Amino acid sequence: MSTRAGLKDRLHYNETFNCVQCGYCLPVCPTYETMKSEVHSPRGRINLVKMLAEDKVKAEDLREPIEKCLGCRACETACPTSVQYGKILEGAKEVLEFAEQKSRAQKISESLIFNQMFPSKRWMNTIGNLSWFYQKSGLQKMAQRTEITHLAPLHLGKFESVLPDLPSPVERKKRARQFKAIGSRKLTVGFITGCVMDAIFYETNRNTIDLLTKAGAEVLIPVNQTCCGALHAHAGKITDAKALAKRNIEAFEKEEADYIVNNAGGCGATLLEYGELFKGDIEWESRAQAFSNKVRDISQVLSELDGLSFTKEVNGTITFQPSCHMVNVQKVKDEPLSLLKQVKSKGYREMNDKERCCGSAGIYNIVNYEDSMEILDSKMKNVKDTNATIIVTSNPGCLLQMKLGIQREGLEKSVRAVHLVDLLVEAGAVSK
């Protein structure tokens, strides 16, 4: 970032001129709604980026407004001039990451989390296994009884109580690398199992494989795949995100898959943008774009296969909280709803403003807990207005956030949150 021209490139300065200051994006921006200030709006943030590129403000003037952005990309959908806000945001985060003075301890802990833990299957399995031990050994009950969880940093104690039941280390080890389609094979798909998804939501991954095979897909799970890099890119660690993307591209290039399937809206959005991530890279751009062209959300593949029917009634009234990355970036809207409407239940109730971010946004709810809870409370008001008893989501982060929302509202006895995939299995999915 040594020259002004280099800084302008990194900040996507030319893109900022596409913003005509109309303000159409303001009503859809959750942080503008809750924080009520221009610098927490898309337009305000774009202006700050432009001013940094022109040397009219310092990088530190951007830090708080940029860090408070959810990255939900709702502003892009409302923008009449198609400003690529995601690109501007990612550039700003990279510049801020570069400019930040970090202590040695901070550098070591970040390197451990981003470079050692997230990319490593072994680390992720260990986290999953330790969480299983915590749940099953009685430690969790004791910790909750003594309220020691309240002492955990960054409100992490709030999150441990909403984790799903984890599989034992033995079950975790047993998973095969290839699953044959039940009946005649209509497609072959590579399944991106994710990092946190596979560590904590292993059951949802297992159910994903179950649905795909029953619907007529052969499922391949490349061994060398890794974390998609979403958390790295959102933290401005673009070099690290690219390194992970390269590993995934290479791993899936070895498989003859028609699609690369994911079941986490946030990861899906990142995978879909690998092509963009390597724009201008002679060696990687076309390989990354070929990968991105195959990326599909599980709901898209199940809808296309049309190979499932549902045999059991789910006891409750359903509402749907889609992941904002799935809607705003992947543009997947109809497929989850069409699957949900095939499920027998006490009915489906549409939520007001259902596409507005719930405040989860990667690790936003951990690092900006209070702001995230304000956004969540506004979402829960809309949930309650539906009188639904089952909140279905399409992303693990949204699922945990919805569970937190249920707890905050004291609705644990009457309302539950569930991933779309798990609900379809609960609804007795069988091959047609």
**DSSP alpha helix (H) spans, 161-259:** 169-173, 196-200, 202-215, 230-234, 238-253
Asked whether position 75 contacts ligand SF4 by CB under 6 A, the answer is: yes
Q: Which is nearer to ligand SF4, 44 or 157 (CB)?
A: 44
Cβ-proximal residues to 5 (8 Å cutoff; 6+ apart), any chain: none
Task: Return the range that interacts with ligand SF4 (CB under 6 A); candidates 67-75, 128-136, 270-278, 387-395.
Answer: 67-75
- Residue 206's nearest CA partner among 194, 268, 272, 130 is 194
The region of 27-35, 103-111, 142-150, 307-315 touching ligand SF4 under the rule CB under 6 A is: 27-35
- Of the pair 70, 192, the CB lying nearest ligand SF4 is at 70
Using CB under 6 A as the binding rule, whether residue 204 contacts ligand SF4 is answered as no
What are phi and psi for residue 291, nearest 5 degrees?
-60, -50
Segment contacting ligand SF4 (CB under 6 A): 26-34, 103-111, 181-189, 252-260? Answer: 26-34
DSSP per residue, 349-379: -PPTTTTS--S-TTTHHHHTHHHHHHHHHHH
Contact 240, 115 (CB under 8 A): yes
Q: Which is nearer to ligand SF4, 204 or 321 (CB)?
A: 321
| Closer of 49 and 249 to ligand SF4 (Cβ) | 49
Considering only the stretches 13-21, 107-115, 285-293, 421-429, report the one whose residues sit in contact with ligand SF4 under the rule CB under 6 A: 13-21
- Whose Cβ is closer to ligand SF4: residue 81's or residue 106's? 81
d(CA 351, CA 391): 10
In the complex with ligand SF4, the residue whose CB is nearer, 189 or 233, is 233
> Is residue 290 a contact residue for ligand SF4 (CB under 6 A)?
no
Q: Which is nearer to ligand SF4, 386 or 394 (CB)?
A: 394
21 near ligand SF4, judged by CB under 6 A: yes
Which range touches ligand SF4 (CB under 6 A), out of 66-74, 102-110, 220-228, 330-338? 66-74
In the complex, the smallest distance separating the C-beta of residue 33 from ligand SF4, rounded to whole angstroms, is: 9
Q: How many CB atoms lie within 10 A of CB 170?
A: 8
Q: Is residue 83 near ligand SF4 by the rule CB under 6 A? A: yes
Burial call 193-230: b when 16+ CB within 10 Å, e when fewer: bbbbbbbbbbbbbbbbbbbbbbbbbbbbbbeebbbbbb
Quote the tokens at residue 282.
């002679």
Which residue among 39, 49, 62, 74 contacts ligand SF4 (CB under 6 A)? 74
Helix (H) / strand (E) containing 390: strand 390-393
- By DSSP bridging, strand 308-310 and strand 429-431 are antiparallel
- Per-residue x/- mask for ligand SF4, residues 29 to 58, rule CB under 6 A? xxx----------xx-xx------------
HSE toward the beta carbon, residue 53, CA cutoff 13 A: 22
Applying CB under 6 A, among 5, 20, 148, 151 the residue interacting with ligand SF4 is: 20
> Does residue 103 bind ligand SF4 (CB under 6 A)?
no
Stretch that binds ligand SF4, among 76-84, 120-128, 234-242, 261-269 (CB under 6 A): 76-84
Distance CA 395, CA 403 (A): 12
Exactly one of 48, 70, 220, 318 binds ligand SF4 (CB under 6 A); which one?
70
Rounded to whole angstroms, the Cα distance separating 95 from 92 reads: 5
Calpha distance 236→234 (Å, rounded): 5
Select from 24, 133, 134, 348 the one that contacts ligand SF4 (CB under 6 A): 24
Exactly one of 14, 37, 81, 106 binds ligand SF4 (CB under 6 A); that residue is: 81
Strands 318-321 and 295-297: unpaired
State yes or no: residue 403 binds ligand SF4 (CB under 6 A). no
Q: How far apart are CA 212 and CA 299, in angstroms?
A: 10
Residue closer to ligand SF4 by CB (options 40, 237) is 40
Does 79 contact ligand SF4 by CB under 6 A?
Answer: yes
The one-letter amino acid at 335: E
Question: By CB under 6 A, is residue 85 in contact with ligand SF4?
Answer: yes
78 binds ligand SF4 (CB under 6 A): yes
Residue 12 φ then ψ, to 5°: 55, 50
The footprint of ligand SF4 (CB under 6 A) covers 19-25, 28-31, 42-43, 45-46, 69-75, 78-79, 81, 83, 85
